[in-house]
Amino acid sequence: MAPPDFTSNKTFRTFRTLPSSTSLPPSTSPPSTSSSASPLSTSSASSSSPHASPEETYYLLAQIKENMSITKPTLILEDLSSSTFALVWEDSPPSSSPNFNEFFKARNIKKGNCILIPNAVRSDPPPLTEQEIQEGKPPKQGCVKLKGNGDELKVFPGTLEKVVGVGQHWAEDMADTSRCWECGATERKGGDDKKLMNCTGCGGVRYCSKECQVKGWTEGGHKTVCKVIKAFRDIWP
């Protein structure tokens, strides 16, 4: 299965363009995620419809900037628009582990990696009271929330730049399985077996020889995206 269109703002939402859970029809409201944001964030919403149809899937893609867990597992994320927001596991602690760090380590959730959440929604927090406005308090900042262990969340072992780069060039680099990723040859060099060799790390790229495999790993940049490509294949098999 090919990944979705990484150039589509409708498919890949930012925190501020997520649909609001307060206006989402109950029949289409995702059961496992909810979120909240500043009342001011609605002004920057996408011009496209914020509500996905039941058969339509959209994604929130963001990079982990900080682990701010205190009483609940909490991450500070940066989305495709460079806006930061918090991701909180609503049930504390997650049932799989009483220790936040162990829970994150088991899922490769760490600073620098990216998370992907399908069909996340945003619910606006209560607006500032008149007293809070008079006191000059800033608008309240909300957060995306996950219920339970947040099993719908997926992790990419790489930066936002690398993940988006792989996604945007997937059709160009991965769709043609009949050619060597490095030189473009269609047959394996040497020996009777002419079938191209798969990268044993990601299984997503192919080589005609050991020489091309080494060159592709070092000079071709595959070393920096191998694990990211594997994650793509695991998420969209």
Whole-angstrom distance, CA of residue 69 vs CA of residue 76: 10
pLDDT category, 19, cuts 50, 70, 90?
confident
Contact 128, 139 (CB under 8 A): yes
What is the percent of the chain where pLDDT is above 90? 50
CATH of 12-159, one of 2.60.40, 2.40.50, 1.20.1050, 1.10.10: 2.40.50
In the chain, domain spans: 12-159, 169-235
pLDDT for 93: 58
Asked whether the predicted pLDDT for residue 44 surpasses 60, the reply is no
Closest CA to 9 of 54, 51, 55, 59: 59
pLDDT for 142: 76
Residue 89 or residue 99, greater confidence: 89
Closest CA to 117 of 201, 34, 192: 34
